[in-house]
């Protein structure tokens, strides 16, 4: 949209592309920095702010309300990501990067405007203690309970395998019909669909039915949900490894052993079992971890508690 902000490049000949100047690089890195600051501010505060709206310590059903809130918050965010994977990726592929970035900019503007217009309706909890005091308390409690297991390692491997599955999809036949091909970047939608369907089934069908049969409220504990989620995550990794073994074997048979990006005659739909299991793992273990951290850390660290789960993503990005 601003021609001066990028080096000139002939769209018909890559040999006439100019190298970026210091000004171009400055604009580029400043843009990435602003996106990171903005996204970090929204994602780190949104969940904790939403939890403040439903937190009622005097309500005996508060734990159940929290569990339902975390689940449906995650489902809503996943549904939004699903829409973006389908529509935004399609817009970018068909209309170019300008429209691909322009549509999210307009949506973010509408989102920010609606948030500030409704500001008077929100519950605003005032900080009553120092963040550093709460952090010191957490360190002391952690040293006394060092036997507690850390599940972020599984998150690291889950995100790593999630990224690899998208790379795998790019080297496989992604046609659903002879005339329709799913973009490799959109294959993550199957994980999100699995996550959303499970949350809806668990919260609206499974729990009410089990409670009716038992004659009392029934819910899986945090440890049970995280444990089942870890098993699903491990199973998804096993499935992905089996698919990759067969894909690589077929690539060698077709003479693509030295061409890692070549497309083999193998349907990318073989990745669906992995995506379904990964979605279940995210719905059970991911949401369970967020709820666990939020309930264990002091109230003045609620924003940090809601985002500890994301620490598992950093090592995977380095790998």
Residue-wise pLDDT tens digits, 125-134: 776 655 556 5
Q: How confident is the model at residue 151 (pLDDT cuts 50, 70, 90)?
A: very low
Runs of H (alpha helix) within the chain: 22-54, 62-83, 89-95, 97-117, 131-144, 152-170, 189-201, 207-214, 222-253, 272-281, 287-296, 302-305, 313-318
| 131 located within any domain | no
Q: How confident is the model at residue 60 (pLDDT cuts 50, 70, 90)?
A: low
Q: How confident is the model at residue 44 (pLDDT cuts 50, 70, 90)?
A: confident
Q: How confident is the model at residue 7 (pLDDT cuts 50, 70, 90)?
A: confident
DSSP state letter for 129: S
Q: Return the higher-pLDDT residue of 195 and 263.
A: 195
DSSP symbols for 36-76 = HHHHHHHHHHHHHHHHHHH--TT-TTHHHHHHHHHHHHHHH
Structure tokens at 258: 């030295």
Asked if residue 192 and residue 101 are part of one domain, the reply reads no
DSSP state letter for 202: I
**Angstrom distance (rounded) from CA 275 to CA 194:** 8
The SS3 assignment for 173 reads strand
| 136 located within any domain | no
- Give pLDDT, residue 247: 86
Q: Domain of residue 98: give its range.
A: 80-113
Dihedral, CA of residue 28, residue 32, residue 37 and residue 39, to nearest 10: 140
| 160 located within any domain | yes
Asked if residue 260 and residue 162 are part of one domain, the reply reads yes
Q: What are residue 204's phi and psi, to 5 degrees?
A: -105, -15
Distant-in-sequence, close-in-space partners of 128: CB < 8 Å, separation ≥ 6: 299, 300
Report the 10 Å Cβ neighbour count for 251. 21
| 142 located within any domain | no
Mean pLDDT, rounded, for 36-54: 79
Mean pLDDT, rounded, for 203-219: 86
Check pLDDT > 50 for residue 228: yes
The residues facing 267 across adjacent strands are 173
Of the residues 66, 93, 113, which one is the last residue of a structural domain? 113
Give whichever of 50-59, 169-178, 248-257, 296-305 has the largest mean pLDDT. Answer: 248-257
Asked if residue 160 and residue 102 are part of one domain, the reply reads no
- 48 closest CA partner among 294, 222, 285: 294
**Angstrom distance (rounded) from CA 159 to CA 90:** 24
Check pLDDT > 50 for residue 294: yes
| 31 located within any domain | no
Q: Which of 19-23, 30-34, 273-277 has the lowest mean pLDDT?
A: 19-23
**Angstrom distance (rounded) from CA 48 to CA 50:** 5
Indicate the number of domains in the chain.
2
As a whole number, the mean pLDDT across the chain is 77
DSSP state letter for 18: P
Q: Return the higher-pLDDT residue of 315 and 214.
A: 214
Give whichever of 36-50, 139-153, 239-253 has the largest mean pLDDT. Answer: 239-253
| 273 located within any domain | yes
**Angstrom distance (rounded) from CA 30 to CA 97:** 18
Asked if 174 contacts 182 with a C-beta cutoff of 8 angstroms, the reply is yes
Asked if residue 95 and residue 225 are part of one domain, the reply reads no
Asked if residue 299 and residue 244 are part of one domain, the reply reads yes
| 138 located within any domain | no
- Give pLDDT, residue 130: 57
Q: What is the pLDDT of residues 79-115, one digit of tens each?
A: 888 888 778 877 887 787 788 888 888 988 998 899 8
- Give pLDDT, residue 235: 92
Which residue shows structure tokens 């109230």?
Answer: 299
Asked if residue 196 and residue 288 are part of one domain, the reply reads yes
Asked if residue 268 and residue 164 are part of one domain, the reply reads yes
Length of the chain: 319
Asked if residue 311 and residue 177 are part of one domain, the reply reads yes
Asked if residue 247 and residue 101 are part of one domain, the reply reads no
Q: Which of 52-56, 210-214, 250-254, 313-317 has the lowest mean pLDDT?
A: 313-317
| 186 located within any domain | yes
Check pLDDT > 70 for residue 139: no
Asked if residue 198 and residue 99 are part of one domain, the reply reads no
The SS3 assignment for 171 reads coil
Asked if residue 94 and residue 155 are part of one domain, the reply reads no
- Give pLDDT, residue 148: 45
């Amino acid at each position: 949209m601003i021609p001066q902000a990028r080096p000139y490049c002939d769209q018909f000949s890559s040999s006439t592309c100019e190298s970026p100047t210091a000004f171009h690089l400055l604009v580029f890195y400043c843009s990435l920095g602003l996106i990171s600051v903005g996204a970090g501010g929204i994602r780190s505060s949104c969940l904790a702010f939403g939890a403040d709206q439903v937190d009622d310590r005097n309500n005996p059903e508060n734990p159940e309300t929290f569990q339902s809130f975390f689940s449906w918050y995650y489902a809503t965010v996943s549904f939004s990501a699903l829409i973006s994977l389908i529509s935004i990726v399609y817009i970018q592929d068909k209309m170019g990067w300008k429209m691909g970035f322009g549509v999210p900019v307009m949506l973010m503007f509408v989102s920010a405007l609606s948030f500030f217009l409704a500001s008077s309706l929100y519950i605003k909890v005032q900080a009553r203690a120092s963040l550093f005091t709460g952090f010191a308390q957490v360190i002391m409690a952690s040293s006394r309970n060092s036997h507690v297991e850390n599940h972020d390692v599984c998150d690291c491997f889950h995100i790593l395998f999630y990224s690899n599955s998208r790379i795998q999809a790019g080297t496989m036949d992604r046609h659903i019909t002879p005339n329709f091909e799913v973009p490799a970047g959109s294959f993550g939608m199957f994980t999100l669909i699995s996550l959303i369907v499970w949350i809806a089934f668990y919260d609206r069908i499974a729990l009410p039915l089990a409670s009716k049969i038992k004659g009392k409220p029934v819910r899986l504990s945090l440890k049970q949900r995280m444990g089942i989620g870890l098993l699903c995550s491990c199973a998804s990794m096993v499935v992905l490894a089996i698919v990759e073994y067969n894909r690589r074997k077929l690539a060698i048979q077709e003479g693509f052993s030295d061409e890692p990006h070549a497309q083999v005659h193998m349907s990318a739909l073989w990745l669906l079992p992995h995506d379904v299991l990964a979605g279940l793992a995210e719905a059970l273990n991911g949401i369970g971890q967020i709820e666990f951290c939020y309930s264990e850390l002091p109230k003045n660290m609620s924003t940090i508690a809601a985002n500890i789960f994301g620490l598992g993503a950093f090592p995977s990005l380095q790998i």
